[in-house]
Structure 1
Amino acid sequence: MNKIIKIIIFLGLIWLVGINIYAAEVEVESEISEICVYTDSALINRVAHLELATGSYKAVFSNIIPEVDENSLRVSAEGSAVIKLFGAQVKKEYLEEVPSERIKQLEEEIQRLEDEIAGMQNLKAVLTEKKNFLNSITLFSNEQIPQDLVTKMPPISDLENILNFLDLGLKENYAQALDCELQIRDLKNKMETLQNELSQISGVQEKIKRSIIVELEVLKEGSADLKVSYLVKGASWNPIYDARANFETSEVELVSYGVIKQATGEDWLEVDCSLSTAKPRVGGSMPYVAPWFLRPYQPEVRKDKMSVASAPAYQTEAFKKEAGALEEKVEGEIEFATAEEKGIAVVYTLPAKIAVKSDNSEHKFPISSQILSAVFEYSSYPRVSPFAYLGSRVTNSKGLQLLAGRVNIFLEGDFVGFSSMGNIAPSEEFDLYLGIDENVKVKRECLEKKVDETLIAGIPSRTKRTTYQYKLTVENYKSKKIKVKLYEALPISEDDRIKIKINEISLEPGIKDWEDRKGIWLWELELEPQQKQEIFYTFTVEHPRDMIVEGLY
């Protein structure tokens, strides 16, 4: 019995070897049909349209330019022909050549880009001088107009003309400077790509010629689409968002874009494309509200140079008002991608074929748009940042996963700056920060620091007591009533020898130990236009005289 089994296995091996020996090698013409872009790579799908008679073949996909991740190589076939697939492999050939013509072409293109960059930098210098001139007018007006008011009142039209001139001039200057910066960045990216290619092919070198060989047997003749897919490096996409706040309707339009760039070595011309969040990748956001701990001083331990510093905690939960995403889509002419949840990732299929050159330049495509209902309010943590942050608690739509990325902020149609947000799951509530508002002033001041070192019979006491008085100030210079969430960290002792006593509070906070963070106090304030709110508090810290207390300032 064992002898019969061995004979069958032997005959099977001979049959397989025979297929490989006598298989006809056919070089096929293929094209990129579809691409799935990840945050650090891309899955390329190539297809070859074939008419095949019965028999064994080796289909050769030649001139595969990018380096292929061989572990990701997949092959499939569909059509009227009945095909049995035996596998696929990547073949590499090393060719020695001197690509002198390409070197000359690259050097000319690099020189042209250097000239363009120099021209843009000269334009940037001119814009800087223009901004300095406008700033000098502002400075002169700030000094001269008050002097003129002593003797006479300048005509209102003159003041309005000055303001309009400065406003238009500064806005135009800012827009031109921003456009100049973006063009310089784009030119530098292109030049870096060309320089990398030039350094790779300069001089006599070994050039790699890659092919993908698919072994198959046609059991029934007919037509077939033979497809191969493989993962390549040098491609990526990242999200960018436009947040357009409308105070009249209490809504925020959040538009998501995917920015694709690639330098795989071959251009993508009119191909179907999808963007995957399979490998997700954070300032204008409010600083993390951390408790204030006091502990005995300990010398800092020198860390290993290779250790990686932990990332700062991302602040959430700063805005607690209930808000949700409206189901209806925004009316407009932009066609967005369709989203589909696949396993742990969301895949966005772009609505039209795309073209992306292999020059590392950025290409922006719309992904989604949603209207979020919002209750606008301010949040501030003056112990770390002296600003008031405008934002709202909102809810992401179902079926939309948002990756961490930059948020361009538009208030009433005007671009006012940018913020950022973290990874947001479908239907997840999150804090949408809309930047700082200079018309809401926040200040934290230490008014008094009194050290009590009582002497007993001329001998210093064994303990040291220090009393601190702080003042928190919030002022509303806007023309409407606002809500402000004011956070403050009171000191917390982590050692029994350190005693802390809160003495006086002019206004009790609404929440103590906010979100179970010890010592974090929260005041929820409502301020009318031009109203100022001051909060005073004092506390005493007592500790052994010879102890240096860490974190006390």
Structure 2
Amino acid sequence: MIFYLFLINLTLSSQVNSVTIYPHYAVILRKARIFLEKKEILTFAGLSGFLEDNSVKIKSKDLKIGEVTIKQGYLEEPPLRVKELERQIKKLANKINNWENEKLVIKSEEEFLSSIKLASPEIISKELLMGKISPESWERALTFLTTKLADLKRRNLLLEDSLNETKKQLEALKKELQDIKAIIENKKEVSFEAIPEKAGEYEIELSYNIPNAVTFSPYYEINTDDNFVNFNYYAKIYQKTGEDWENALVSLNTAKILPITIAPEITPYYVDWEKPIYEKRIPTEKGELKEAPLLAEKEEVKTFETGISLEYLLPQRISLKSGEEKKFLIKSINLPAEFEYFIYPRKDNNAYLQAKIFNNSDLVFLSGEALTYIKNNYTGKTLIKNIAPNETLQLNVGVDERIKVERKLVKYLIKKEGVFDKKEKQEFNYQTKIENYSLKERKLKIVEQMPISQTEAIKVKLIKIEPKPNLIDENLGTFTYYKNLKPNEKFIINLSYSIEYPIDYKIIFY
């Protein structure tokens, strides 16, 4: 999009046309058009005060660019957000002032009514003795005083609460205004000589870098269906450049911009032989010699090649004000997946849906936070690692409540054995029942488990495991089943084992 400029004191009016976001940097590009007949001094005003002067570039076809100067600038008109904040601050300040005045009035009323109440007993006695007033009238008067004082105290407490809350709001608005002003008042302007080859309309591009003011992070919303996974790939973008982006093209680049791009100096390139390092000995206090302590070996820094940098162009132009964070869609794509439910009933009664996802797209999914859904029902958060094209990802999607898991201790025995070498023996019989309440067949991986002894004095023995597991791991004490469970089908596992140990042992499980 090209923004046409109107020559006002040779100051160009421009908006941000495109932004390329790098780690720790953003490259801003502005475009403008102006009609020129002769050499002029043109100015881009109202630019971010955070821009790096040595990054400024100006170009225009058939327009010669002369000397460029950069200096501090200013805003002729405060932004709308500043005006709105100032309006809100004034409104809250007036409200606080009115409430504080009301509190002063309440205080005066309380003091007046309290003085009457204190003097009432003496006045009542005299008036009653002289027969000037009936007891009922005095009772009504005292009730009025008491009720009025109670009302005033309640109103005073309400005002105090409102004042405290409103003062907090006022301080928050003042801080926001201060932060915004600190940014918007930090402005620069770029002026340059423009020498046209001939009279005509020229497009001018201005680009510059702003460091540490823009960040982006990958963010995903992943929704699983029966045969595929829908990846909604977003970028969360936060910017505090001091410039609002209106309808700008934005691209995200993973390359790091080097702050210094000066060519290296030529220096000698030596070769030498490695000198032997002789063993050192340090004298002790008694004059003996002991080995010198070895210096810690310098840990080698591991490097990982991630290939060339990646750049993503957002599919639509975006608007983002300085100080805001928003998420923007990069791509929504369906990826093929294989699903399996992982069930570990000794730990809990949940069926965890796991998806093995194949990235058959040309996108690289960068590591980031993901919200997971099963058929549009939110199941939780997870983190994903980088996924290159043609790679697979193992993703924990969440718990599917349609797969019911129940593990219970159906039988427990404890008995003492032996005459001289007395032992105690415990027997456990667990039953695990799994039911599929979904409408489709589900692929399950179920892991049952019994304890493993950490000492020879404690003997753990398998009594029974039914049905026969697909895989047994004696090191973990696990029995693994791979089962396809049809709708409304049940699968039951019975596990029995015993633990025998010296009678004076107190056993623990961990």
TM-score range, shorter chain: 0.5 to 0.7
| C-alpha contact 2:41 2:191 (8 A) present in aligned 1 | yes
Change (3 A) 1:399 1:354: same
Change (3 A) 1:227 1:505: same
CA distance in structure 2 between the aligned counterparts of 1:221 and 1:545, rounded to whole angstroms: 106
| C-alpha contact 2:371 2:380 (8 A) present in aligned 1 | yes
- Give the aligned partner of residue 158 of structure 2: none
Q: Which amino acid aligns with 1:523?
A: Y
CA distance in structure 2 between the aligned counterparts of 1:89 and 1:541, rounded to whole angstroms: 85
- CA-to-partner distance for each residue in 1:21-57, whole Å, 9 max, x for gaps? xxxxx976654221134688744334567999999x9
| C-alpha contact 2:412 2:426 (8 A) present in aligned 1 | yes
1:108 Cα deviation (Å)?
Answer: 4.1
Q: Say which is worse superposed, 464-473 or 522-531, in terms of deviation.
A: 464-473
- Give the aligned partner of residue 537 of structure 1: 495
DSSP-derived class of the 2:483 partner: strand
1:534 Cα deviation (Å)?
Answer: 1.5
1:442 Cα deviation (Å)?
Answer: 0.8
The within-5 A match list for 1:456-475 is 456-457=419-420, 466-475=426-435
CA distance in structure 2 between the aligned counterparts of 1:191 and 1:467, rounded to whole angstroms: 68
DSSP-derived class of the 1:198 partner: helix
1:271 Cα deviation (Å)?
Answer: 1.1
Change (3 A) 1:531 1:93: same
CA distance in structure 2 between the aligned counterparts of 1:441 and 1:519, rounded to whole angstroms: 24
DSSP-derived class of the 2:319 partner: strand
CA distance in structure 2 between the aligned counterparts of 1:508 and 1:110, rounded to whole angstroms: 74
CA distance in structure 2 between the aligned counterparts of 1:52 and 1:63, rounded to whole angstroms: 22
* Unaligned stretches of 5+ residues in structure 1: 1-25, 114-189, 280-341
Change (3 A) 1:384 1:100: same
1:388 Cα deviation (Å)?
Answer: 1.6
CA distance in structure 1 between the aligned counterparts of 2:170 and 2:254, rounded to whole angstroms: 29
1:470 Cα deviation (Å)?
Answer: 2.8
Rg (Cα) greater in structure:
2
CA distance in structure 1 between the aligned counterparts of 2:180 and 2:381, rounded to whole angstroms: 42
- Give the aligned partner of residue 523 of structure 1: 481
Q: Which amino acid aligns with 1:243?
A: N
CA distance in structure 2 between the aligned counterparts of 1:40 and 1:546, rounded to whole angstroms: 64
The within-5 A match list for 1:403-442 is 403=366, 404-407=368-371, 409=373, 411=375, 415=377, 417=379, 420-426=382-388, 427-442=390-405
Pairing partner for 1:349 from 313, 322, 329: 313
1:506 Cα deviation (Å)?
Answer: 1.5
| C-alpha contact 2:341 2:445 (8 A) present in aligned 1 | yes
1:227 aligned to 2:204?
no
- Give the aligned partner of residue 21 of structure 1: none
- Give the aligned partner of residue 369 of structure 1: 332
CA distance in structure 2 between the aligned counterparts of 1:244 and 1:394, rounded to whole angstroms: 10
- Give the aligned partner of residue 298 of structure 2: none
1:450 Cα deviation (Å)?
Answer: 5.0
The within-5 A match list for 1:290-305 is none
CA distance in structure 2 between the aligned counterparts of 1:110 and 1:494, rounded to whole angstroms: 68
1:268 aligned to 2:245?
yes
- Give the aligned partner of residue 300 of structure 1: none
Pairing partner for 1:504 from 464, 469, 484: 464
CA distance in structure 2 between the aligned counterparts of 1:66 and 1:107, rounded to whole angstroms: 23
CA distance in structure 2 between the aligned counterparts of 1:58 and 1:397, rounded to whole angstroms: 54
DSSP-derived class of the 1:351 partner: coil
- CA-to-partner distance for each residue in 1:304-337, whole Å, 9 max, x for gaps? xxxxxxxxxxxxxxxxxxxxxxxxxxxxxxxxxx
The within-5 A match list for 1:117-132 is none
- Give the aligned partner of residue 29 of structure 2: 45
Q: Which amino acid aligns with 2:436?
A: N
CA distance in structure 2 between the aligned counterparts of 1:548 and 1:362, rounded to whole angstroms: 58
CA distance in structure 2 between the aligned counterparts of 1:92 and 1:495, rounded to whole angstroms: 76
1:360 aligned to 2:324?
yes
| C-alpha contact 1:501 1:540 (8 A) present in aligned 2 | yes
Q: Which amino acid aligns with 1:536?
A: N
Change (3 A) 1:257 1:389: same
The within-5 A match list for 1:124-273 is 196-200=175-179, 209-211=186-188, 225-233=205-213, 235-243=215-223, 245=225, 247=226, 250-273=227-250
1:393 Cα deviation (Å)?
Answer: 2.0
- Give the aligned partner of residue 20 of structure 2: 36
DSSP-derived class of the 2:85 partner: helix
CA distance in structure 1 between the aligned counterparts of 2:185 and 2:323, rounded to whole angstroms: 20
- CA-to-partner distance for each residue in 1:259-313, whole Å, 9 max, x for gaps? 445454332112111234569xxxxxxxxxxxxxxxxxxxxxxxxxxxxxxxxxx
CA distance in structure 1 between the aligned counterparts of 2:470 and 2:53, rounded to whole angstroms: 58
DSSP-derived class of the 1:402 partner: coil
- CA-to-partner distance for each residue in 1:348-371, whole Å, 9 max, x for gaps? 212332222335253543x22333
| C-alpha contact 1:63 1:209 (8 A) present in aligned 2 | no
CA distance in structure 1 between the aligned counterparts of 2:381 and 2:364, rounded to whole angstroms: 18
Change (3 A) 1:79 1:481: same
CA distance in structure 1 between the aligned counterparts of 2:432 and 2:48, rounded to whole angstroms: 63
| C-alpha contact 1:66 1:232 (8 A) present in aligned 2 | no
- Give the aligned partner of residue 481 of structure 1: 441
- Give the aligned partner of residue 134 of structure 1: none
Q: Which amino acid aligns with 1:209?
A: N
